[in-house]
Amino acid sequence: MFNAKVKSEILKGIIDVTAPLVSEVKFNITSKGISLRAVDPAHVAMVDLEVEKKAFEEYKASEMELGIDMDKLGGIMRLSSSGDIVSLEYDETSNRLIVRIGNLVRKMALIDTAGMPDPKMPNLDLPAKVVLKASEINRGVRASEAVSDHLALVVDKDSFELFAEGDTDTVNLKLPKDLLVSLTVPSKCKSLFSIDYFSNMIKSVKGEDPISIQLGNDNPVKVEFDIADSKGHVKYLLAPRIESE
């Protein structure tokens, strides 16, 4: 059984976090809430998402897996307005997810989850951790997109720095410690990442909301933030690009 009602903004938030990386997702449904974990087709990035039961207006569920086409769900949700309450119901007889927005009903075929992987979240020892406002890093990433296809993230004991270098132009965003929410750095760390992936990972976080970034030297980056009015949490991992000599 799965029967839930949720604000459209919260469901759109789940889609915004997931759809840029993967088009097909296995939702793990329990009585306590919804979770998913997926790796993109290129095996460059992973998303791990949990949304608690209390993020929903109504929520009744037994343990099950639902294979969701995120592009289809995103298409339905584009028809919703801010403030709409979306009803989600699993129809066991037809193996469909019934989505209701006002007087609109969409019965969506589900994907067989049998072949979907269950990726494990690697236990990485990333020494540096910085927490900063979403608006600050989003500005730096947007500027970098016009210059290059990759960016460097650098942290030392005094600052966080984002740097992108193209054929002719460069972008640099440097935030001293007093402009950061927090900074934990045993020694200087630097890694290089794809801008496209990194941009997709952080663009759903708005304004003053905090983003946590964990780094090492030429290690993956771990990005974390809350969603669903702080009743949900997202973790991303992104593999580094190794600089050629």
Residues 68-90 pLDDT 10s: 999 999 999 999 998 999 999 99
pLDDT tens, residue by residue, 154-179 = 999 999 999 999 999 999 999 999 99
Stronger pLDDT, 62 or 115, i.e. the higher one: 62
Residue 213 has pLDDT above 70, yes or no: yes
Give the list of residues 6+ apart from residue 80 with CB closer than 8 angstroms, or none: 8, 12, 86, 101
Q: How far apart are the first and last CA of the chain?
A: 56
Residue 243 has pLDDT above 80, yes or no: no
Q: Report pLDDT for 245.
A: 41
Q: Where are the beta strands (DSSP E) in 62-168?
A: 64-69, 85-91, 96-101, 104-109, 128-133, 150-156, 159-165
Radius of gyration over alpha carbons of the chain, in Å?
19
Phi and psi for 43 in degrees, rounded to 5? 55, 40
CA of 122: how far to CAs of 39, 171, 222, in Å?
12, 32, 11
Q: What gap in Å lies between CA 203 and CA 16, rounded to an integer? A: 9
The CATH class that applies to domain 128-238 reads: alpha beta
pLDDT tens, residue by residue, 125-160 = 999 999 999 999 999 999 999 999 999 999 999 999
User: Would you kindly state where each structural domain of the chain is located, as residue ranges?
Assistant: 2-109, 128-238
The CATH class that applies to domain 2-109 reads: alpha beta
Q: Report pLDDT for 117.
A: 85
Stronger pLDDT, 115 or 5, i.e. the higher one: 5
Q: Report pLDDT for 244.
A: 52
**Residue 206 binned pLDDT confidence (cut-offs 50, 70, 90):** confident
Q: How much is the pTM?
A: 0.94
**Of the given ranges (24-28, 114-118, 135-139, 174-178), which has the lowest mean pLDDT?**
114-118
